[in-house]
Amino acid sequence: MKVAYYPGCSLHGTAKEYGQSVKAVSRALGIELNEIEDWSCCGATSAHATNFKLSVALPARDLIKAQTGAEKEVMVPCAACFNRLKSAQHHLEHDEVLRKEVEAIVGSEYKKESLEIRNPIDLIYNDIGLEELVAKVVKPLTGLKPVSYYGCLLLRPPKICNFDNYENPVLLDKMMSAIGAEVKPWSYKTDCCGGSFTISKTSIVNNMVDKLMRSAREAGANCVVVACPVCMANLDMRASAGLELPVFYFTELLALSFGLKESSDWWKLHGVDPSSLLKSLQLI
Amino acid sequence: MTFLEKVNERINEVPIQRCYHCRKCTAGCPMAEIMEYNPNKIIKMVQLGMEKAVLESKTIWLCASCETCVTRCPNEVDIARMMDVLREMALEGGSRIAEKNVVQFHESFLSSIKFGGRINEPLMMVLYKLKSGDLFSDVVMGVGMFLKGKLSLVSPRTKDISAVRNIFSKTKS
Ligand code: SF4
Ligand code: SF4
């Protein structure tokens, strides 16, 4: 299958290993990614927290660009971008007056109902399917005990995100079990990590992350799996000494189980280096 | 127009009088315990027309936009959207900002987009540090990430930068 692709800013920077692992896994699964031509930033929290119109117009430019391509779907791996693109789409589809105004600002027409915005968990689980994933596994992740952390922006608000069960999501858990990990049940899957307060209100984020890490340890986890660069940055770098756990993007673990060589480049990019855990389980 | 009417008009969804004060929003809010007024109190204050106290509160800047409140509200009151609206009104009306660092972060983030069309993380951090005067926190972490090759001073930018800057100038309130 071929889809349009919106990497977003962090996949070129602090979430480099997410960008690379999304590409590697897509290649392995036969998903062809066609990057949106000359895309720009979605505006993230900072736009919607301060200027509503800007928070619709910035993603609108990207959606309109995506609509010029042949693909009917766009894959958005970053949960924050996914949320902003979905939210802008919701407003553009439901508010005629706003849509006209935004079209005038961006200088092109937005075509209604012409593009589906999807995150890679949804795409891989629903369109590729667990069976095909299992068939690709050469190294089951035996001994890895993750809790799956979905956070806020993939799921909420449900009428906009329209993805998985919003109080007890399970798709990531199922995917990780399929590749041989022993996923631990956990009641903090959808709690907030503090998001962009990591820079402006660091101590608040420290406390929120410590709570998540404590509860993950209580659940018997030896690592956490995420699908968002903001969650990754916080969980991987804001836990207090002694509470840290290795944190993985789910695509890194898929790649590892598929035996993709590129995965060896990613571990050193983590704040908490997962190599010793993976070595002790003879996964690398 | 009353404060309540102005807020409702901007939210442009369910009017917040629909709230029957069950406090489900507040029970699930991860920030409620550190907010000056919890989300339900802010709703009451908006209903009572306490414009200055609301717009100068810490609460509106400490909301993390996690969207838990609106997800759980039995009356579909969009509290998260209300918080966006209140922040916007506070900035437009020149209210005293109770949490300056939060606003300085947003300004730095948006300036970085205006500059390159995409976020360059080191540039954004430098802008934030200059604005906030908080020069030393996270420097070690930043250098560490730099050495790992995760941060680079030059990252790909949007070529049609004038299109992005045009969006900024046309949405300026
Ligand atoms: S959950 Fe809804 S109805 Fe209940 S207090 Fe909050 S806003 Fe009001
Ligand atoms: S969106 Fe804001 S007010 Fe609502 S639950 Fe999250 S932090 Fe609290």
Q: What is the ipTM of this complex?
A: 0.93
Measured over all CA atoms, what is the biggest interatomic distance in chain A, rounded to whole angstroms? 59
Residue A123 lies in a domain: no
Lookup: tokens for A53: 């119109």
- Gap from CA of A204 to ligand 2 centroid (Å): 14
Measured between alpha carbons, how far is residue A179 from residues A24, A85, A134, A230, B122 in Å? 16, 30, 6, 25, 36
B8: nearest Cα among B79, B105, B67, B75: B79
Pocket of ligand 2 contains residue B160 by CB under 6 Å: no
Q: Are A113 and A35 in the same domain?
A: yes
- Gap from CA of B50 to ligand 1 centroid (Å): 18
Q: Are A114 and A164 in the same domain?
A: no
Residue A218 lies in a domain: yes
Question: Given a cut of 90, is residue B141 above it in pLDDT?
Answer: no
Radius of gyration in angstroms for the set of CA atoms belonging to chain A, rounded to a whole number: 19
Residue A132 lies in a domain: no
Residues B17, A284: Cα–Cα separation, whole Å = 58
- In order of their start, the domains of chain B are 3-93 (1.10.1060.10), 102-171 (no CATH)
Question: Given a cut of 70, is residue B136 above it in pLDDT?
Answer: no
Residues B57, A240: Cα–Cα separation, whole Å = 30
Q: Are A81 and A10 in the same domain?
A: yes
Give the residue, by CA position, lying nearest to ligand 1 atom 3: B19
Lookup: tokens for B46: 């908006």
B71/A237 CB distance under 8 A? no
Q: What is the DSSP string of B4-48?
A: HHHHHHHH-SS-GGG-----HHHHH-TTGGGSSS-HHHHHHHHHT
**Domain final position from A118, A153, A171:** A118
For A259-270, write each residue's pLDDT tens digit.
999 999 999 999
CB distance A214 to A256 below 8 Å: no
A61/B163 CB distance under 8 A? yes
Lookup: tokens for B115: 């500059």
Residue A39 lies in a domain: yes
pLDDT confidence bin for B147, thresholds 50/70/90? low
Measured between alpha carbons, how far is residue A78 from residues A70, A146, B10 in Å? 22, 20, 28
CB distance A137 to A219 below 8 Å: no
B128/A199 CB distance under 8 A? yes
Give the residue, by CA position, lying nearest to ligand 2 atom 2: B63
For A204-249, write each residue's pLDDT tens digit.
999 999 999 999 999 999 999 999 999 999 999 999 999 999 999 9
Query: What are the b/e assignments for A46-55, b being 16+ CB within 10 Å?
Result: bbbbbbbbbb
Report the pLDDT value the prediction gives residue B140, as an integer from 0 to 100.
64
Q: What is the CATH number of the domain that holds A180?
A: 3.40.50.11810
Q: Are A255 and A156 in the same domain?
A: yes
Q: Are A143 and A112 in the same domain?
A: no
Give the residue, by CA position, lying nearest to ligand 2 atom 5: B29
B71/A107 CB distance under 8 A? no
Measured between alpha carbons, how far is residue B118 from residues A12, A66, A84 in Å? 10, 17, 15
Residue A131 lies in a domain: no
Residues A12, A160: Cα–Cα separation, whole Å = 26
Residue in the structure block whose two tokens are 């022993």: A182
The minimum CA-CA distance between A132 and chain B, rounded to whole Å, is 32
Range of the domain at A253: 137-280
CB distance B98 to B108 below 8 Å: no
For B29-83, write each residue's pLDDT tens digit.
999 999 999 999 999 999 999 999 999 999 999 999 999 999 999 999 999 999 9
Of A49, A105, A157, the CB nearest to B70: A157
Residues A227, A237: Cα–Cα separation, whole Å = 16
pLDDT confidence bin for B132, thresholds 50/70/90? confident
Measured over all CA atoms, what is the biggest interatomic distance in chain B, rounded to whole angstroms? 56
A30 and chain B in contact, CB less than 8 A: no
At residue A240, the 3 state secondary structure works out as coil
Residue A125 lies in a domain: no
Q: Are A105 and A230 in the same domain?
A: no
Q: Are A196 and A238 in the same domain?
A: yes
Q: Are A9 and A71 in the same domain?
A: yes
pLDDT confidence bin for A145, thresholds 50/70/90? very high
Residues A283, A107: Cα–Cα separation, whole Å = 52
**Which residues on chain A are in Cβ contact (under 8 Å) with B13?**
none
Q: Is the model's pTM score more than 0.90?
A: yes
For A33-59, write each residue's pLDDT tens digit.
999 999 999 999 999 999 999 999 999
Residues A176-200, mean pLDDT to the nearest whole number: 94
**Which residues on chain B are in Cβ contact (under 8 Å) with A155?**
71
CB distance A149 to A235 below 8 Å: yes
Q: What is the mean pLDDT of chain B?
A: 91
Q: What is the CATH number of the domain that holds A28?
A: 1.20.1050.140
CB distance A75 to A116 below 8 Å: no
The minimum CA-CA distance between A264 and chain B, rounded to whole Å, is 14
Q: Are A25 and A104 in the same domain?
A: yes
Kindly state the percentage of chain B with pLDDT values over 90.
77
Residue A129 lies in a domain: no
Pocket of ligand 2 contains residue B40 by CB under 6 Å: no
Among B11, B59, B73, B79, the mutation site with the greatest number of ligand 1 atoms within 8 A of its Cβ is B73
Report the pLDDT value the prediction gives residue A58, as an integer from 0 to 100.
98
At residue A249, the 3 state secondary structure works out as strand
B102/A40 CB distance under 8 A? no
Q: Which residues touch A68 (CB under 8 Å, ≥6 apart)? A: A37
Pocket of ligand 2 contains residue B31 by CB under 6 Å: yes
Report the pLDDT value the prediction gives residue A151, as an integer from 0 to 100.
94
Report the pLDDT value the prediction gives residue B142, as an integer from 0 to 100.
67
Look at chain A and report how many structural domains it folds into. 2
Q: Are A160 and A104 in the same domain?
A: no
Q: Are A141 and A255 in the same domain?
A: yes
- Gap from CA of B80 to ligand 1 centroid (Å): 12
Q: Which residues touch B147 (CB under 8 Å, ≥6 apart)? A: none
Q: Are A197 and A276 in the same domain?
A: yes
Q: Which residues touch B26 (CB under 8 Å, ≥6 apart)? A: B32, B38, B39, B40, B41, B69
The minimum CA-CA distance between A131 and chain B, rounded to whole Å, is 33
Shortest CA distance from B108: residue in chain A: A46
Residue A148 lies in a domain: yes
Question: Given a cut of 80, is residue B137 above it in pLDDT?
Answer: no
Question: Given a cut of 70, is residue B173 above it in pLDDT?
Answer: no
